Amino acid sequence: MWKARLCLGTDADFGIPIEEQIRLFRQVGFDGFFTEWSEAADISGWRRLADSLHITYQSVHAPFGRADALWQEGTAAECAVEELLACLKDCAKNEIPIMVMHAFIGFGQHTPTAAGIENFKKIADAADRLGVKIALENTEGEEYLAALMEAFRGYEQVGFCWDSGHEMCYNHAQDLLAAYGCGADKDAARVPVLLRLRTSHRGRRRIHAGYRRVRDTGSSGRRVLRAGV
């Protein structure tokens, strides 16, 4: 049997310092938390705080403003890759096991490129060296997610993060859990499926259904429920 852990995401928009949010999460009984990444983010400080509170620093969400540039060539693509590599290095340095990232951003393009696969390979190879797992999130641009999940099918460090809000907003109820989680690719090692449950969206039945779809696989792997608002 596997055990679920419930983690809550920090957010600068809460109007409370991140450190205080982490303390509050621990006080009310959450098992862990996740944060966003930026060059200015105090990842090391939050790691030390997590250790002192005995709460799990479950993952870091990578920047996604340049996700479309990953599929290009030239300076913009290089900057996007370097930003994600910096995030990966911070995860490794602070023993944070998972980096969540978007495969794409935007609604006007629908054609994955060979350049994008090569750019992502630099990130996946670095993740393998550093011992950090990458969880690709379901967002707009499912074609790009599909291209990466297929190209890196055999990579142990590459897996899937399911966001219930994104499924309702972007994926139009497509069953991406069936495609990339819940027992898919049984012969390939996969990063644990992350379920990010957005409670501010309507449709809690979809959240519960997603949870059951993972539970009912009988998988012995670890599953982490990430609550977002």
In this structure, the number of other CB atoms found within 10 A of the CB of residue 93 comes to 13
Candidates 175, 229, 173, 159; CA nearest to 197 is: 229
Query: Whole-angstrom Cα distance, residue 161 to residue 134?
Result: 9
Q: How do residues 162-213 score in pLDDT, each as one tens digit?
A: 877 766 676 666 677 777 765 445 444 444 456 665 554 444 455 445 545 5
- Which two tokens mark 117? 């696969």
Which residue is it, tokens 């996007």?
80
The phi, psi pair for 37, rounded to 5°, reads -120, 145
Per-residue pLDDT of the chain (229 residues; tens, 9 = 90+): 356 778 889 999 999 999 999 999 999 999 999 999 999 999 999 999 999 999 999 999 999 999 999 999 999 999 999 999 999 999 999 999 999 999 999 999 999 999 999 999 999 999 999 999 999 998 888 899 999 999 998 899 999 888 777 666 766 666 777 777 654 454 444 444 566 655 544 444 554 455 455 555 444 444 445 555 4
Query: Whole-angstrom Cα distance, residue 118 to residue 123?
Result: 9
| Cβ neighbours of residue 188 closer than 8 Å, sequence gap 6 or more | 153, 154
- Which two tokens mark 68? 């479309």
Query: What 3-state DSSP class applies to 132?
Result: coil
138 contacts 145 by C-beta, under 8 angstroms:
yes
Query: What 3-state DSSP class applies to 221?
Result: coil
